[in-house]
Structure 1
């Protein structure tokens, strides 16, 4: 099943492939039910978009990106929800964001992403 086209995303000249989710259905589903993957959630307007870990099979690093494509907030190692209510958490950025980059846990440290880094997205035609 194809969820979205694969595009290139670059942060501080570190390039990776990423799926783009930009419809209501794709934004709602995100990486749910998958065993791995990277996805850029691209919302229609900036807001404090919350991310939950319902039906996730692996922990994520969440990179919140503003309308100027600058990283404004990072959550590392967000754990999937379980039957334990203590895991039922929604992750919100400190500021309004336009995009959220969902990646496997440890990705932020591995590539040394940090607040203020600029994100560039190259869409395939």
Structure 2
């Protein structure tokens, strides 16, 4: 008698559970990802110690969602484009490449808008922590290899307009 009382609800629960799995399994809805395209929100100028400058169109990440998402899910970015992350405070930063399809150079910049460090050629889809090693208030992401191509160095400065 004890077994019969608990077996029937148990069997009913299993039957319902299997039905739910079958219903989901047969669902033919396909989720597609919307292509994310570059949206110019400002311009950024990097001034080198020899006074030469590089100008970029930038997207700005300054909300929690934007800073957490960054350049994830993008297929490409033009050479003259980048994403500038603006934080409220200056502290050591740690970035990673989760769900980021394109290799990047990550440029860490302090509150005085001076470049303090780089993480070059960050590998797509890699979740390894990429630290600034020094306090940073801003982070600029550009296509991998551009830090070397442009000859950027610690001590170069940035300015930007929104």
TM-score class, shorter-chain normalisation, is 0.7 to 0.9
Q: Deviations over 1:39-61 (max 9, x none)?
A: 00111111112101000111100
Q: Which runs of 5+ in 2 are unaligned?
A: 1-35, 48-52
Specify the SS of the correspondent of 1:25. Answer: helix
Q: Write 1 or 2 for the structure with the bigger share of helix.
A: 2
**What's the TM-score, normalizing by structure 2?**
0.68
Name the CA shift for 1:105/1:2 in 2 (closer, same or farther; >3 Å): closer
Q: Larger radius of gyration, structure 1 or 2?
A: 2
2:153 match: 114
2:75 match: 35
**What's the TM-score, normalizing by structure 1?**
0.87
2-structure distance, mates of 1:22, 1:88: 22
Greater RCO, CA 8 A, separation 6+: 1
Name the CA shift for 1:106/1:2 in 2 (closer, same or farther; >3 Å): closer
Shift of 1:106: 1.0
2:108 match: 64
2:142 pairs with 1:98: no
2-structure distance, mates of 1:36, 1:22: 21
Q: Which runs of 5+ in 1 are unaligned?
A: 82-86
State the Cα RMSD in Å: 1.6
Spell out the pairing of 1:5-16 with structure 2 (5 A cutoff): 5-12=40-47, 13-16=53-56
